[in-house]
Amino acid sequence: MRITVKLSTLYLLLATLAAGTVSAQSDSAATKSRLTVGGYGEAVYSRHFYSDNVFRYSFPSRYADAPSYGRVDLPHAVIMLGYDFGHGWTMGTEIEFEHGGVEAAVEKEMEETGEFEQEVERGGEVALEQFWVQKSFSRAFNIRAGHIVVPVGMINNNHTPNRFFGVYRPEGENTIMPCTWHETGLALWGRVGHWRYEAQVIPGLNAYLFNDQGWIHNGSASPYEFRPANRLATALRVDWTGLPGLRLSLSGYAGNSFNNDITTSIYGDSSRFADVRGTVLIGAFDFEYRNRVVTVRGNADYGFLGDASAISAHNKNQTTMSGNPYPHTTVAQAAWDASVEAGLNLLAWSRTSQRLYLFGRYDHYDSFVPSEHQTDVGWCERQVVSAGLNYCPLPEVTVKAEAGVRLLAEQYNNEPYCALGVTWTGFFTR
């Protein structure tokens, strides 16, 4: 039996099979492209040429000639996952391990009659920094709900290690504000021309966790299994990118913070705190200019806390409660920070795609600006001057070296340091 197949028929058959294969590959690629996997991480060694004693500011003369000490650290190791469900629906997550995470184990102690003991082997934190679902209606209008980053200031909105030159995040903003600041709330955002806007409704900060050294830095934390939200707040940000390489940004925050804890009862004399709101207001400006040769970044932040004296008195009074998680210190009426950093790419004139930045950085901040009823805490105002190198053999990898000094008021000891770090930032899929 002879089977005859026309060339035209064979061609049609092959073309159909090829089209099917291409279609299957396209569908597979489209499916894979919906998943985004990435992250960033940092490993650091630092040497500090000053005392680490907790009384070094109370009795500075005792610790003027203290020996240096070294530390290794994993400041942040982050896994980011995203998925596009289609029809404008997307989700994003970011799981962060700070300082190596937390390691706990059960061990059998041979020198203690073989009993079992639970031990914490390493400190650190594990945090779900982002967990949100988004509906995009257009480029100009998107709604995001869930756990989101609060984009107030420079570093909260640009906290990956390839967005700052220092081995550690800039000290000023990292001291006076939560960093990275993340809350569970609702956000509206979009892009119109050269503008990007974002508006958020989030839980207010917790005034019971404010302190002298960090101002409101710890106010977004919660020692409980949930985040108290007796008070709500708003955060806003606007970015302009109308010139190549340049970004100008304004951001702000407003919300009450007093009585925003696990219980709404007030300790001590309730009538004394009846009208206390603890309103937190923050205004921030930041910018960045980048081209192949130079990168310059800077920011200026100012924050105000209403009823600071009453909150300080209330927080110090809570020492009568056994085992509570509050710092029991005063908190200032205001805090501020201003910084600038600039880097010159020494390889800009070569044919290589690698980059080698020589950078300098200056940061001046004060976490305790007292009201007329408060006594100043002199060591809370600091200037930080540093310089170093950033080597980028690949766009995703940066090796950092930095040396600097923290300058305090005359009655205190200055605090020199140096640090080395290696970082990565990238996406494995897109």
Q: What is the DSSP string of 17-85?
A: HHHHHHHHHHHHHHHHHTEEEEEEEEEEEEEE-S---TTTTTSGGGGTTPPPEEEEE---EEEEEEEEE
In a domain, 1, yes or no: no
- Residue 349, classified by CB atoms within 10 Å of its CB into exposed (0-12), middle (13-18) or buried (19+), is exposed
DSSP state of 162: G
- Please name the amino acid found at residue 65: D
In a domain, 9, yes or no: no
| Phi, psi for residue 233 in degrees, rounded to 5 | -140, 170
In a domain, 162, yes or no: yes
pLDDT (0 to 100) of residue 125 = 79
Q: What is the DSSP string of 326-349?
A: -------SEEEEEEEEEEEETTTT
Q: What is the DSSP string of 75-121?
A: --EEEEEEEEEETTEEEEEEEEEETT--EEEEEEEGGGTTEEEEEEE
pLDDT (0 to 100) of residue 2 = 41
Using left for φ > 0, alpha for ψ between -120 and 50, and beta otherwise, residue 79 falls in beta
CB 343 within 8 A of CB 165: yes
C-alpha dist (Å) from residue 69 to 65, 312, 364, 421: 13, 34, 25, 17
CB 49 within 8 A of CB 62: no
Can you read off the two tokens belonging to residue 168? 């550690």
Point out the residues of the chain with pLDDT beneath 70: 1-32, 103-122, 264-270, 319-323, 430
In a domain, 17, yes or no: no
Numbers of helices and strands, H then E, in the chain:
4, 19
**How far is it, in rounded angstroms, from Cα 190 to Cα 384?**
36
In a domain, 231, yes or no: yes
pLDDT (0 to 100) of residue 95 = 93
What is the CATH number for 191? 2.40.160.10
pLDDT (0 to 100) of residue 225 = 85
Tracing tokens 């007292």 back to the chain, one arrives at: 370
The tally of domains found in the chain comes to 1
Residues with Cβ within 8 Å of residue 322, at least 6 apart in sequence: none
Q: How many CB atoms lie within 10 A of CB 192?
A: 11
pLDDT (0 to 100) of residue 25 = 40
Whole-structure pTM value? 0.87
In a domain, 19, yes or no: no
pLDDT (0 to 100) of residue 325 = 74
In a domain, 160, yes or no: yes
Domain ranges, residue 140: 35-101+124-266+276-427
